Structure 1
Amino acid sequence: MSDPSCQGRRMTTQTQEPTAPSRARQMLNKVPEVTAYFWLIKVMATTIGETAADYLNDNLGLGLTVTTGVMSVLLVIALVAQFRCRRYVPAVYWVTVVLISVVGTLITDNLTDNLGVSLWVTTTVFAVALVAVFALWHRQERTLSIHSIVTTRREAFYWLAILVTFALGTAAGDLTAEQLNLGYAPSVGLFAAAIAVVALAHYRFGLSAVTAFWVAYVLTRPLGASMGDLLSQARADGGLGLGTFVTSGVFLAAILGLVTYLTVTRRDATEARRPGAVEAP
């Protein structure tokens, strides 16, 4: 029997279409609580975004264009399923995040590798695009809080912002790697330290939760990519030599285990907030 939380949104037998406020009341928050589980799965998803894209493109020889097309179709299917849900469903949500991670990576790769757009340009363009998405989102909804993803329009803004953060994180991470010429392990340390600075600024110096969340969200993309490269690339190139297939498989298995746990326990569900849970922006 299918999960009723991921069926159509109409809950009433009346023929009249519910008003916008009533539709909003019928939807619980569509995203998870920001806990250690959230950040752990998110970093692993970004790692898969890097390694899975490389595996499909290079190892299987699909090429950027075919890989982008296939993954984009899968992402659209996942988004349709996510939008049909009335509440946060861990499996649907995190499948969507993994796929949007891969597609966000491929967007930047297509611009730089296929079209020859410089990383300076792509980083700048995606940064401006993200600011524009946030500005429009806030103008329409008067909030950027992920605690209030309870309408279709807010969810559309949310996923658009997520896609742009992945594309921006890919471009900024590649640009940093080229300019600083760091190894894989130092890159992991650099971006982990940057996230720690953001956390410190939030908890000790009053940086707003919204700003801290989204800056950290962008930074986890190059962090995850650097981790993926460190694990998958050859030892001669500074990696651990696991390969993209093994790295992707290990992280997918870890995500599957955590998502299964969260599905059973609902420990990250915002509609049943636990005492002491971290307040999301």
Structure 2
Amino acid sequence: MLTYIFPGQGSQAKGMGGGLFDEFKELTAQADEILGYSIKELCLEDPNGNLSQTQYTQPALYVVNALSYLKRIKETGRKPDFVAGHSLGEYNAILAAGGFDFARGLILVKKRGELMSLATGGGMAAVIGLNEQQIAAALQRYNLESIDLANYNSPAQIVISGLKTDIDAAKPIFEGMKEVQLFVPLKTSGAFHSRYMESSKQEFAAFLQAITFSELNIPVISNVHARPYRQTEIKQNLVDQITHPVNWTESIRYLLSLGEMEFEELGTGRVLTGLVQRIKREAGPLAVR
């Protein structure tokens, strides 16, 4: 079996997309019209240094992931058995599964990026070397319960999210723990996938009310539940995803439990490929009954 996986924010890099924009000229023109700027120029040249800003990052990654998928299907003629995406990448998984077309997905991602970019004063950091229980215990011990666990990237790589002042305060604490290999502050403007995104979540829910989704024709693994989407829950999953942790470890472990599974990362970078290898090595398949 084959699962295509799509990266999210943090994978962006100047030059991403390469020749895809010229290969898919009509979709590139459609993207320019929806966004009001040249997506090709943003991704390849980034003349104004916008690529790292959430409201630009998310549409850019969505477009590059989408065109990468179309190119792969064109090359192989084979659709995957499952699709999954990390945070923003989940929109590409839904696109691949036929939940919406390219344009509608981009409209959703544009709105999501705009709303999430309004959440300022927050921060995120990757803690490498501790598991979920150890991090939760440390946050409790040092009165840092205002910090949430945001991304379960692999058994020993977990991202925390909260007010920037709290993340800064957590840094020396975690760095002082002998089990911690690295504490890496992430380049984000907000405390994504945490309680601090509640207002963005509510506004996005209101925006989604008028949107309809088509029938999914490939199972999409949900970041929220780490199980396949139910058709009736698409809207709610996308809303909840904004404040809910990304259950990437369990998503991959669930897929591994289904049998012989290949994973192929589409888009830019190989961050998820590395995480899949770590999950295989450190945890293996879920014991799903």
Query: Could you say whether these structures have the same fold, taking a TM-score greater than 0.5 normalized by the shorter chain as the test?
Result: no
Bigger proportion of residues as strand: 2
Bigger proportion of residues as helix: 1
TM-score (norm 1): 0.30
The one of the two structures with greater contact order (alpha-carbon pairs below 8 A, sep at least 6) is 1
TM-score (norm 2): 0.29
